[in-house]
Amino acid sequence: MKENAGQPIVPAKWGIPYAQDEVQPMIQREQSYIVAFAVLTIIAWQTAIGTLVLMPFTLLATWFHEMAHGLTAAALGAEFERLVIFANGSGFAEYSGNLWAIGQATVAAAGLLGPSIAGCLMIIASRSRRATRIVLLGLGAALVLSTLIWVRSVAGWVVLPIFAAASFYIALRGNEKWQRIAVEFLGVQGAVSVYQDLGYLFSPGGSVDGRVAISDTGRIADALFLPYWFWGGLITFTIFAMVWKSLKIASRY
């Protein structure tokens, strides 16, 4: 086979049209954008104006969170009954069936870790053209199916199909740049969705539709051992470790 001297070799699987010595700086810039997305999103969620501006994404983050609860409960043998999302960004997943203490703790932890796992996988997928498109199509399908099967609230019926339509449109009609940006941004929303309300993560309870409800970390503490703040700290460390690892994997070329 004839070799062309001086021709830069770039891994085809990433589809990055740059010389090899330009790839790493480009990836580092994208990593910086992803981290900036995450930090700005967390900060914005802690303010009234930021919460209002990000409300559609707050509702999407609630969907990530409650779907993780419901699907985990179903995987453990319970019946996933319904998913309710309120216009203020709160919500709940209702399931029936008896779960042992470890099962209850697992369902509670899934709502906190599940969205971050999904978000990190999306960040990793953004490095591949094919995977980026598959993720957008898969997200759109998941939003449509969950709305038809489990969602039982007006806010969910309005917002989730809009996100589904946007995902399908970008996957089928968007260029590579916007597909990648969309997956990276949505991945960040999933990865840091647990930090919508830092007080909820590090508290024994919160408010859902004006009613006091025990927090997920409070449920883990009740089902197992050690206080809620321990579990909040452990989950925070785990999420940061996952995000760091996903960025490290995505930076390979």
Band (29; pLDDT cuts 50, 70, 90): low
pLDDT of the residue at 82: 95
d(CA 240, CA 238): 6
Sketch the domain layout of the chain as residue ranges.
43-81+92-250
Q: Could you tell me which of 223, 82, 251, 50 has the C-alpha nearest to residue 152?
A: 82
Compute how many other C-beta atoms are within 10 angstroms of the C-beta atom of residue 4.
6
Q: How far apart are CA 172 and CA 29, in angstroms?
A: 26
Residue 49 has pLDDT above 90, yes or no: no
Average pLDDT over residues 92-104: 90
Crossing angle (nearest 10°) for helices 55-75 and 129-149: 80
* Rounded percentage of the chain residues whose pLDDT exceeds 70: 82
Buried b (16+ CB within 10 A) or exposed e, 106-125: bbbbbbbbbbbbbbbbbbbb
- Tell me the pLDDT of the chain averaged across its residues: 82
- Has residue 48 got a pLDDT over 50? yes
> How would residue 252 be classed by pLDDT, with cut points 50, 70 and 90?
low
Pair 96, 78: CB distance under 8 Å: yes
- Straight-line distance from the first to the last Cα atom of the chain, in angstroms, rounded to the nearest whole number: 24
CA distance linking residue 22 with residue 189, whole number of Å: 28
CB atoms within 10 A of CB 130: 10
Residue 94, beta-bridge partner list: 82
Q: Distance between CA atoms of 104 and 214, rounded to whole angstroms? A: 13
Give per-residue pLDDT as tens, 70-96.
999 999 999 999 999 998 888 899 999
pTM exceeds 0.85 for this model: no
* Percent of the chain whose pLDDT exceeds 90: 38
pLDDT average, residue stretch 104-115: 92
Higher pLDDT, 140 or 46: 140
Distance CA 235, CA 72 (A): 17
Q: What is the pLDDT of residue 4?
A: 40
**Core vs surface per residue 183-216: b (16+ CB within 10 A) or e:** bbbbbbbbbbbbbbbeebbbbeebeeeeeeeebb
Residue 184: predicted pLDDT: 85
Q: At what angle do helices 154-173 and 55-75 cross, to 10 degrees?
A: 100
In the structure, what pLDDT confidence band is assigned to residue 43 with cuts at 50, 70 and 90? confident
- Residue scoring higher pLDDT (15 or 61): 61
Helix (H, G, I), strand (E, B) or coil at 74: helix
Candidates 251, 220, 237, 229; CA nearest to 110 is 220
